[in-house]
Structure 1
């Protein structure tokens, strides 16, 4: 599967929503796990600001790579962030997008003043 390394040098990355377990199947409630290690996967939404533009990215991160206490407003660093294009078809309708995955997230400073968790 192809993937694209994402350069985070000079980017400002801030937690937008607290981490949550990633669902594999929304209908059954089955949780997603890493195919190689079997560890649970988490979803973390971050605000990614680079080159004068801000985007909200929804990242997949193995649970051991998520530290305790990540709340909205916390500035973070991302380890080995990659972008992976995807495409699927369901009921004759094609969908595509980009999935983002990081090996780990590290808090760089506490949550910004006034941010609520």
Structure 2
């Protein structure tokens, strides 16, 4: 899968939804694991502000890259942020979008 690096320089990111374990299969409760490290994956959302425009990004981050103590509204840094276009076809319905993934989230709170 191709990954497109996202330049975060000059952007501000604020915690919008606190981290929770990413579920791969809702029917079985199987947890998503990082393909490289086999660490559990987490999901979280940030408000990403750049050039006066704000967007909510839902991110996947390996659990070791998510520190304890994150709070809503907290400014954070996103290390290794990439965008991954995806597409699937289910029952003749084409779906597509962009998934965001970071290596780590770091608190910028004093």
TM band (smaller chain): over 0.9
CA distance in 2, matches of 1:45, 1:39: 19
Tell me which residue corresponds to 1:89: 89
- Corresponding residue for residue 12 of structure 2: 12
Q: TM-score, normalised by structure 2?
A: 0.97
- For 2:91 and 2:50, how far apart are their aligned partners in 1? 37
Q: CA deviation at 1:3?
A: 1.0
Superposed CA deviations along residues 3-61 of structure 1, whole A, max 9, x for unmatched, are 11000011110000110000101121111001121100000100000011100000000
Quote the residue 2:40 is aligned against.
40
- Over the aligned positions, Cα root-mean-square deviation in angstroms equals 0.8
Poorly superposed stretches of 4+, deviation over 6 Å: none
Residue 103 (structure 2) aligns with: 103
The aligned counterpart of 1:115 is none
Instruction: Specify every segment of 5 or more residues in structure 1 that has no aligned partner in the other structure, as ranges.
Output: 111-117
Aligned to 1:113: none
For 2:57, what is the secondary structure of its paired residue?
strand
Q: How many residue pairs align between the two structures?
A: 110
Report the counterpart of residue 63 of structure 2 in structure 1. Answer: 63
Q: Who is 1:78 aligned against?
A: 78
TM-score (norm 1): 0.91
Query: Which residue does 1:54 correspond to in 2?
Result: 54
**Structure 2 unaligned runs (5+)?**
none
